[in-house]
Structures are given as C-alpha cells and as structure tokens.
Amino acid sequence: MKKIFGLGLLALGLAVMLSGCGKLPQADIDAATAAIDSAKMAGANVYIAEEFVAIEDSLKSAIEKIEQQKSKMFKNFAEPVKQLQEVKMLAAEATKKAATVKEQVKQEVQSALGEVTTMVAENKDLITKAPKGKEGKAALEAMQSELGVIETSVAEATTLFDSGEFMTAKEKIMAAKEKAVSINTELKDAIAKYTRK
Amino acid sequence: MRIKYNYTFIYIASGLFFLILCLALILTCFSPKPPYTSIAGAREAIAASRYKKTNKYLPAEYARLIETYDSAMIKWKCENEKFLLKRNYAEIKNMADTIIVSAEALSKKAVTIGNNLDSLLRNEFKTIEEHISRYDTIFSIIPVPAELTEKYTRGKLFYLEGRSAFVNNELSRAFEKLQQASKICREATSKAKEYLVSYFDQYDNWVKLVDDALKTSARRKNYVIIVDKFARNCQVYFSGKLKYTFEAELGPRWIGDKRHKGDNATPEGKYQVIKKLGPKQTKYYKALLINYPNEEDRKRFSDEIQNGSLPVNSDIGGLIEIHGDGGKGFHWTNGCIALKNRNMDNVFRMVSVGTPVVIVGSTKKLTELFNLE
C-alpha cells in the first residue's frame, strides 16, 4: 500500500514539475494594467500620446509572451514578468509626466484666458475712451464687432477649459489672443495718430 | 547499517518517470505551435501603421485593426484554456496575418492621404491667406456692413486655430478648421465683393457728373472741386484743368450716399459752396459749407420716408463742409470732407461762394482700382 501511495506521489510531482513550472503572473498583469489606467486617467494619452502608446504596446507585448508561455508544456514567465514590471514603472513615470504637462497646458490656457479677457476689456475701454461724437465713433464699429467674435471665442475656450479639454481650449484661446492683440495694436495706433494731431 | 534497496519500487518509479517524461515530450511535439510570431508581427504592423498616422487619417479602419488584434488575443487566451492537444491556433494565425496585410495596406493609404492632405493643407492655407490678404487690403479700408466684418473675423479665427493645429502636426484637425475658415472667409469676401460691385453700379453717373462739371469749368473758366471718395482726395480744377490734388478724409461710413443725419456718410452728387467760414466761424480751422441737402437729396429722402426705408421721424441732416483739421490718417468726420490745414488754406483762397463741388464714389472703374477676380 505504501509503495502504491509513494508511486502516486512521485507521478503527481513529476506531472506538476513538467507542466506547471511557472505560475501565471496575474498580480503583475493587474499591477501593470492598473498603472496604465492611472496614466490614462492623468491624461497621458492626450498630453504625452506617443509615450503612452509605446507603454501600451509594451504591455501588449508582455501579455503576448505570457500567452506564448501558457501555450507551452514547460512554462517560464520570468521574461514577461520583468517586462510587466518595466511597464508598471514606465506607466507610473508617464502618470507624473502627463500630470505635469497637463498642468502646464492648463496654466497656459488659464493665463491666456485671463490675458485675452483683460485685453478685450482694455480694447473696449480704448473704444469708449476714443474721441466721441464727430471723431471716430463709427470707425470703431468694426472693431467692436470683432471684439464680439473674440468674446464668443473666449466663452467657447472657457467651456472647453471647464470640461478639461485643455489642448483644444489652448488652440482656440491662442487664436483669439492673436486677434485681440492685433486689434489692440490697431486701436492704439489709431488713437496715437489722432492725438498727435 | 546496511541499506536495503527495494529494487522493484525503484524500477517502477523510474519507469513511471520515463513514461511521464515521454508523455510530456509527445504532448509538446504534437501540440500546436503557439501563434506568438504572428500575433507579435500583427502588433508590430499596427504600431508601424500608426507611425504612418493611420489612426489620424483612417481612424475607423485603424480601430478595426485594434479590434481584430484584441479578438485574436481573446481567442488565444480561450484556446490556452483547452487541453494541450485540443488547442487550435489556425484562426488566430489567420486573424494575425489579416492584420499584417491590412495594416500594410492602410499604411500605404495613410501615406498617400498624408501627402495629399499636406499638399491640400498647403493649398488651402495659400487660398485662405490670399482671401485674408485681399480682404485686408481691399475691404478693411472700405466700411463694409458690420455682419461681414463679424463673419470675416470668425473665419480668420478658424484660420488661426487651423494654423496652430498644423504646427502641432494635427493635420486632420487643421484641415477641418481650415475648411471652416475657407467657407466663412469665401462667403465674407464674396458678399463684400457684391457690396462693392453694387456700389459701383453708379459709376457711369459719377463719370457724367465729373465730365459735365469739368466742361462747365472749361467753358466758364472757373474753379471746380471734385471729391473722389475711393482715391481719398479732393481735386481742384481751373478751366477744366487739374491744378491741385489734396488728401481728404471723410466720414467713417463713406461708401454710399448720405441718407440721413448721423449716418456718418459723405453725400454724393453735384453741390456748390454756399458759405466760406473763417477761423473763428468754425471749429475745424476753415470751412466751405456746401448746399447739402440739394433738391435731389430732398426728393430721395422724401421717397425713402414714403416707402418706409427710413423712419418718419428721420432728419436729412446738413452742415456738410470741406474743412480743415484733416491729416489724421483715417476717416473720422460725420460726413464732411477734411483737408490738412495748409491745403485748406489753398482751397479757401482759390474758391469762392458758388464754386461747384462734385462728390463721387470714384473717378476710376472698379476694375482699375482692384482685382476682384
């Protein structure tokens, strides 16, 4: 009886040794996937898109290697585990980097929104301060209409900003800023010409 | 102490060990080869196609590639759950091969689109910049209606956004923005052009007014003042011959005839000086008061009141002068014609009460002034 039991154990041990040497690194897969999700949440797919896609590719490659090992009789997950740990580390770095870039863009947009709003107000002020009555009142109508368009653009950029779409907001507000600056220059030039006389 | 070996057990154990080993080797040999190379190749092909911007130019097709890759991976996982000999990777390999072929085809397509889009964008930029440049040179000096200015500004903002997207290599978004800009700028330019062409419908009448005035001046050997709005000048003729040309500034809404008080328009037609105002009689250095509104102006004003084009309480206005204090560099009067003081001195000296003053939109044809094609 003892012999039969001993043989059974030996056979089981051999079978386990041959077919299941490596344990599926589920914890490493989950950790790497969670790290990538965090990076995405931080906006890495928007603010450092190329880097983010490269990390995602690396995760896919590691999972392919895991499946490859799973397909084998003799499994060895050492290489994919190492790759998963690298993915986790890179994703953590990307999270930090994305947050920094996002904050920079956010600050840039916030500052531009403030600048354009101030400049629109300044331009409006310049228009009201411009000589009234016979001189120049109607000449500024076109500028007022342009300022109206810029204000609409600022409102749109603010909505984009509030919804966290900083990149698109940046594009919009920078265009509005360029136009507001050109009006400001034009207005100041016109006033300077007038006051010289 | 002597160890007793149970040779039967050792034989059986060794036999079992070799049996299991052989079984494992047989299973390994006969089990299907995992599709690693194909799947990895598919992923690399997708990455290579992304490098060619398939995700930007062909997003739907690119998404399908990713979807197929994900499906292949799920199938692989499912197959790996099965018993070693029961696994079948053929479909997965086929899927991976399809991805590789499709990704390569998409890459080629994306390169073509990219090249086309790049040249398309450059052409679009060129066209819009021409529109903007034309609008700025022609229409920014002309008081076009406010809604046109607003439209044009909106178009210009889209152009600036498109330029920013282009700089950031966001070609699809740049293209989208430029298309919006192009549409709006084209509409604005086209409407502004219509506005200008319609204004120049009166050109023949202006030519006739000027010709008649010059013939009369030649016959009577007297002075005549011609104000050319588009040329922004005031020409002084004697005996039908040009003596002086002075820069002139008008009302901001100088296009079109004066219709009522406060429209900041400079009237058009045949007038005459009815009063000379010296330095203490006007706040604009010196002035020559003209007979606006004349009979024709009164008739048109009355017709406009009757047909409802103007409110019944409208005022036709008056006190249109050729005066000094000009030289500000832009149109600023309420409809008067402003000259630099030294030029006003000359005109004031030459001109007397009764001198004809002809104010026209232009003495040149529209085609001579601008290329609107």
Cα A123 from Cα A129, distance rounded (Å): 10
Angle of helix A49-70 relative to helix B36-51, nearest 10 degrees, comes to: 170
Tell if the CB–CB gap between A61 and B43 is shorter than 8 Å: yes
Q: How far A74 CA lies from chain B's nearest CA (Å)?
A: 9
User: Of all residues in chain B, what percent carry a pLDDT higher than 70?
Assistant: 97
Cα A105 from Cα A100, distance rounded (Å): 9
pLDDT of residue A135: 41
Q: Whole domain around residue B267: which residue ranges?
A: 202-369
In B, minimum Cα distance to A192 occurs at: B328
* B222 lies in some domain: yes
User: Of all residues in chain B, what percent carry a pLDDT higher than 90?
Assistant: 39
Tell if the CB–CB gap between B73 and A19 is shorter than 8 Å: no
Any A CB within 8 A of B330 CB:
yes
* B314 lies in some domain: yes
* B327 lies in some domain: yes
3-state helix, strand, coil split of chain B in percent (to 5) is: 60, 10, 30
Between residues B307 and B31, the one the model is more confident about: B307
Cα B324 from Cα B84, distance rounded (Å): 102
Distances (CA, A) of A114 to A100, A104, A157: 21, 15, 11
Q: Which of residues 88-127 of A touch B (CB under 8 A)?
A: none
pLDDT of residue A13: 57
Two tokens, residue A52 = 């983010």
**Residue B340 belongs to a domain with what CATH number?**
2.40.440.10
* B73 lies in some domain: no
Q: What does the pLDDT look like over B62-106, one tens digit per residue?
A: 999 999 999 999 999 999 988 888 889 999 999 999 999 999 999
Distances (CA, A) of B273 to A34, A107, B351: 88, 63, 8
Range in A129-143, A177-191, B157-171 the model is least confident about: A129-143
* B257 lies in some domain: yes
What is the DSSP secondary-structure string of A133-191?
TTTTTGGGHHHHHHHHHHHHHHHHHHHHHHTT-HHHHHHHHHHHHHHHHHHHHHHHHHH
The structural domain count of chain B equals: 1
* B91 lies in some domain: no
Taking only Cα atoms into account, the Rg of chain B, rounded to an integer number of angstroms, comes to 42
Q: What does the pLDDT look like over B225-236, one tens digit per residue?
A: 999 998 889 999
Two tokens, residue B223 = 């002075």
Nearest to A15 by CA among B276, B126, B336, B17: B17
* B57 lies in some domain: no
Cα B19 from Cα B3, distance rounded (Å): 27
ipTM over the 0.85 cut-off? no
Range in A52-66, A79-93, A174-188 the model is least confident about: A174-188
* B107 lies in some domain: no
Signed CA dihedral, B33, B34, B37, B41: sign only: positive
Nearest-CB residue to B47 (from A57, A64, A142): A57
How many CB atoms sit inside 10 A of residue B207's CB?
15
